[in-house]
């Protein structure tokens, strides 16, 4: 038995005939009869009987029709509760982000949602391979992930809110001979020791593209995923590295130079399950992320927020 069948039974009892019930529910009499037959299959005693030319409720049917009122009342209350939950501007919104994105978006989200009536943001860091970001949307309302220009797009199982299209620059120790150049090519940097991420993480595809463009393998001296640590190793003279232009804090002893000859940009996107944005609070946090992304990309006088 389901809600529609119980509503039909209740309407039949109140209106007194199949025709009147059909008019009240704005369906055909045959649709009323079909719903009654389906309901009767789930109940071991007769619910209706003939009284002359009219179909009326049996005592069992009257009892079930009375219970239907309670069912509809409970369902209406449940719908109201869900609607209130979805429409509430506050409530907890869980946001996961990889480390460098968490460092720039996290503080902005905390500040933007600090007022009364705002969502409560629950932040988490998740530094995973590209393919592992979409599954995280099962655990979090919003997942901030990144992928390179030439890697596979996000799967259709998640909705995507673009945030940034961020350049990846070459980080050099201040005073390094290559720092005197305004731009660098794969040939310029191929013979340097490198500090790069572990295999499987998004930036490795660009490292491989640099090696292919230069026509030789790179010397991967250090494997470190955390950009703050990478910057310290670069500053100490341990090698060069690919560094995001906007989402890492500048280091006083490193210099960033643009790289030409390969695609050296990454997409930073907010991933979420489509149904999550039914909540007003989740939509509010997504708007804050977009506003934060626009501010981040404009700090060096450019406008590279994703569109």
Q: Contact 159/271 with Cβ under 8 angstroms?
A: yes
pLDDT at 104: 92
CA distances in angstroms from 11 to 54, 208, 266, listed in the order given: 14, 70, 60
What secondary structure letter does DSSP report for 134?
G
pLDDT at 303: 47
Q: Going by DSSP bridges, is the β-strand pair 92-97/193-196 parallel, antiparallel, or unpaired?
A: unpaired
Fold of 3-87: Arc Repressor Mutant, subunit A (1.10.10)
Six-digit token string for 62: 């009257």
pLDDT at 115: 87
Cα three-residue angle 32-33-36, rounded to 5 degrees? 90
pLDDT at 231: 95
Question: pLDDT tens for residues 10-23?
Answer: 888 888 889 988 99
d(CA 77, CA 24): 23
d(CA 145, CA 134): 8
d(CA 15, CA 243): 73
Q: Domains of the chain: which residue ranges?
A: 3-87, 92-297
d(CA 120, CA 287): 14
Residue showing tokens 């309670």: 70
pLDDT at 83: 66
Q: Measuring CA to CA, which residue among 213, 233, 237 is closest to residue 224?
A: 233
Multiple choice CATH, 92-297, 2.10.25.10, 3.10.200.10, 3.40.190.290, 3.40.50.10140: 3.40.190.290
Q: Supply the DSSP string of 23-86, one letter for each residue.
A: HHHTS-HHHHHHHHHHHHHT-SS--EEEETTEEEE-HHHHHHHHHHHHHHHHHHHHHHHHHHHH
pLDDT tens digits for the chain (307 residues)? 788 898 898 888 888 889 988 998 889 999 989 999 999 998 899 999 988 888 889 999 899 988 887 887 777 676 666 766 767 778 899 999 999 999 999 999 999 999 888 999 999 999 898 999 999 999 999 999 999 888 889 998 899 999 999 999 999 999 999 999 999 999 999 999 999 998 888 788 899 999 999 999 999 999 998 899 999 999 999 999 999 999 988 899 999 999 999 988 999 999 999 888 888 899 999 999 999 999 988 876 544 555 4
pTM for the whole thing? 0.70
pLDDT at 260: 93
Residue showing tokens 């007194």: 16
What are residue 160's DSSP bridge partners?
271
pLDDT at 306: 58
Question: pLDDT tens for residues 57-71?
Answer: 999 989 998 888 788
Q: What is the chain's Cα-based Rg? A: 31
pLDDT at 11: 86
Backbone φ, ψ for residue 165 (5° rounding): -120, 90
């Amino acid at each position: 038995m389901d809600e529609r069948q119980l509503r039909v039974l209740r309407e039949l009892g109140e209106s007194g005939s199949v025709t009147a019930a059909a008019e009240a529910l704005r369906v055909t009499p045959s649709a009323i009869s079909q719903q009654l037959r389906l309901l009767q299959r789930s109940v071991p005693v007769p619910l209706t009987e003939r009284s002359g030319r009219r179909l009326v409720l049996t005592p069992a049917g009257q009892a079930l029709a009375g219970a239907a009122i309670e069912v509809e009342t409970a369902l209406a209350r449940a719908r109201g509760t869900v609607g209130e939950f979805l429409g509430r501007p506050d409530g907890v919104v869980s946001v996961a982000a990889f480390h460098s994105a968490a460092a720039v978006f996290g503080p902005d989200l905390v500040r933007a949602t600090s007022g009364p009536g705002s969502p409560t943001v629950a932040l988490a860091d998740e530094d995973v391979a590209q393919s592992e970001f979409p599954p995280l949307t099962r655990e979090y309302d919003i997942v901030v992930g990144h992928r390179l220009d030439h890697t596979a797009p996000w799967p259709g199982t998640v909705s995507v809110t673009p945030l940034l299209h961020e350049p990846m620059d070459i980080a050099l120790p201040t005073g390094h001979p290559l720092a005197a150049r305004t731009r660098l090519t794969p040939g310029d940097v191929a013979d340097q020791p490198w500090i790069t991420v572990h295999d499987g993480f998004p930036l490795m595809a660009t490292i491989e593209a640099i090696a292919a463009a230069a026509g030789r393998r790179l010397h991967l001296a250090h494997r470190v995923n955390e950009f703050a640590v990478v910057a310290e190793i670069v500053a100490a003279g341990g090698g060069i590295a690919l560094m995001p232009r906007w989402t890492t804090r500048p280091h006083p002893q490193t210099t960033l130079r643009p790289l030409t000859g390969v695609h050296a940009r990454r997409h930073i996107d907010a991933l979420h399950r489509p149904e999550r944005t039914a909540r007003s609070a989740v939509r509010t946090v997504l708007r804050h992320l977009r506003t934060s992304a626009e501010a981040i990309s404009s700090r060096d006088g450019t406008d590279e927020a994703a569109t």
